[in-house]
């Protein structure tokens, strides 16, 4: 996003009950099941969900006691936790198939460490990280508030709160903010579509969610009532995988920065941390967040690139968007690589990624979340490089 003038920018979020997020949740459930048994298991899992059907496919390498039957059971539990007990998609009644098979030996030989060869990247690709000062979590504001609105509704629904009685798991939000000289100053429109029980009308649902939306935004940011669009199609009873097919990895912009930063194209869910699509994107966010948290810039984009089977990144590029505070971007790239080993193994070890920590990432974004030191989740959101970065630039 540009730093001058006045403009509008929009981002969207989707709930854990959105069909694509159901698929992401199941794929990350499969991944965590393998990592619980073997921290160095290899998983590349894809899921498709549709009317009362779940299909799991992909490649794995891990303990033999992880059977298809166990994975099917875990998939059903994941759907139950989301809250699907509907005629067209029910955790207990859906037909579930598992088509996972052994990882390609040709991929494995490039990734595995052997002799003097370090562990290589699981694929070629480019990954981006981003951070900015727009929100406390150093995330772009449109996505931050789009996520927040849906998370609040989900939490109330899961807790059985009467204020959202009748709302169901599938939902989408969209937030448009007005920027003046690069800073968000208010919302000009908000869209919220939420699945609901039969018999609820559009006006009733709008009255229900309007206070939740307003309380999620900074004071004075609520748009005019005519610019609050709730269930604009009128009725949203048929939803989830019964209303629309879902696939793993189709919400990569929701998962990252809401379109405010570049994206390399790789999805995250269902992939173990040797896959740099996931682990290097986490490392890039970690670095970018620490750069901004250290006060070196108000915005930071980092790009890293890899070749399959090669340990070292092929390139590391920084763009501080003209907001640098007496920081040279070329020097910053060198300093960061001295502080963080950006090889696949270095990233895994630095961020402690070889653990069953991925189910919580499968909805409401992989970034801008709160690290849980006890559970080991969202380690890439820590700001433990701040002091070293400040020292490196004489702060």
Q: Residue ranges for the binding site for L-methionine? A: 59, 103, 244, 275
Q: How far apart are CA 217 and CA 331, in angstroms?
A: 38
Return the H-helix or E-strand segment holding 95: strand 95-102
Single out the residue of 106, 118, 73 nearest to residue 91, CA to CA: 73
CA-to-CA dists, residue 378 to 194, 214, 267, 285, angstroms: 28, 28, 17, 11
Annotated binding site for ATP: 18, 170-172, 244, 250-251, 267, 271
Q: Which residues contact 320 (CB under 8 A, 6 or more apart)?
A: 291, 296, 297, 299, 300, 301, 327, 329, 332
Annotated binding site: 18, 20, 46, 59, 103, 170-172, 244, 250-251, 267, 271, 275
Q: How far apart are CA 55 and CA 32, in angstroms?
A: 18
Q: Which residues contact 201 (CB under 8 A, 6 or more apart)?
A: none
Annotated binding site for K(+): 46
Q: How far apart are CA 25 and CA 106, in angstroms?
A: 28
- With beta carbons less than 8 A apart as the criterion, state whether 342 and 316 touch: yes
Return the H-helix or E-strand segment holding 228: strand 228-230
Annotated binding site for Mg(2+): 20
Measured over the CA atoms of residue 22, residue 28, residue 31 and residue 36, the dihedral's sign is negative
User: Within 10 A of 201 (CB to CB), how many other CB atoms are there?
Assistant: 12
Please give the distance of CA 317 from its chain centroid, rounded to a whole number. Answer: 22
Name the region of 336 (left: φ>0; alpha: ψ -120 to 50; beta: rest): alpha
- Please, what is the Cα angle at 253 between 252 and 259, to 5 degrees? 155
Q: How far apart are CA 381 and CA 395, in angstroms?
A: 22
99, with CB counted inside 10 A (0-12, 13-18, 19+), is exposed
Q: How far apart are CA 32 and CA 73, in angstroms?
A: 14
């Amino acid at each position: 996003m540009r730093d001058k003038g006045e403009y509008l920018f929009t981002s969207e979020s989707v709930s854990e009950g959105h069909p694509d997020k159901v698929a992401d949740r199941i794929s990350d459930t499969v991944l965590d099941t393998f990592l619980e048994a073997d921290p160095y298991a290899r998983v590349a899992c894809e899921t498709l969900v549709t009317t009362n059907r779940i299909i799991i496919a992909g490649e794995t390498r891990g303990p033999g006691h992880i059977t298809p039957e166990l994975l099917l059971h875990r998939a059903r539990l994941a759907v139950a936790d989301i809250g699907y007990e509907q005629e067209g998609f029910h955790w207990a009644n859906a037909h579930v198939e598992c088509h996972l098979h052994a990882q390609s030996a040709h991929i494995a030989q490039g990734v595995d460490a052997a002799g003097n060869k370090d562990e290589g990247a699981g694929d070629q690709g480019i990954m981006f990280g981003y951070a900015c000062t727009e929100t406390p979590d150093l995330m772009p504001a449109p996505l931050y508030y789009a996520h927040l609105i849906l998370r609040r509704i989900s939490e109330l629904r899961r807790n059985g709160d009467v204020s959202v009685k009748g709302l169901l798991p599938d939902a989408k939000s969209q937030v448009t903010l007005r920027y003046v000289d690069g800073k968000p100053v208010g919302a000009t429109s908000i869209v919220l579509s939420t699945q609901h029980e039969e018999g609820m009308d559009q006006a009733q649902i709008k009255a229900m969610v309007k206070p939740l939306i307003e309380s999620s935004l900074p004071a004075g940011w609520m748009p005019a009532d005519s610019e609050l669009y709730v269930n604009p199609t009128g009725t949203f009873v048929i939803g989830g995988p019964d209303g629309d097919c879902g696939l793993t990895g189709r919400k990569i912009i929701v998962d990252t920065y809401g379109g405010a930063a570049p994206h390399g194209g790789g999805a995250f869910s269902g992939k173990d941390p040797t896959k740099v699509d996931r682990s290097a994107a986490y490392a890039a966010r970690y670095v970018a967040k620490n750069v901004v948290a250290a006060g070196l810039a108000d915005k930071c984009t980092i790009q890293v690139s890899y070749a399959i089977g090669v340990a070292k990144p092929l390139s590391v590029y920084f763009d501080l968007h003209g907001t640098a505070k007496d920081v040279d971007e070329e020097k910053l790239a060198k300093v960061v690589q001295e502080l963080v080993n950006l090889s696949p193994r270095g990233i895994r070890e630095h961020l402690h990624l070889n653990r069953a920590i991925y189910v919580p990432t499968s909805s409401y974004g992989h970034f801008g979340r709160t690290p849980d030191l006890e559970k080991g989740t969202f380690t890439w959101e820590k700001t433990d490089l701040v002091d070293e970065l400040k020292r490196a630039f004489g702060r």
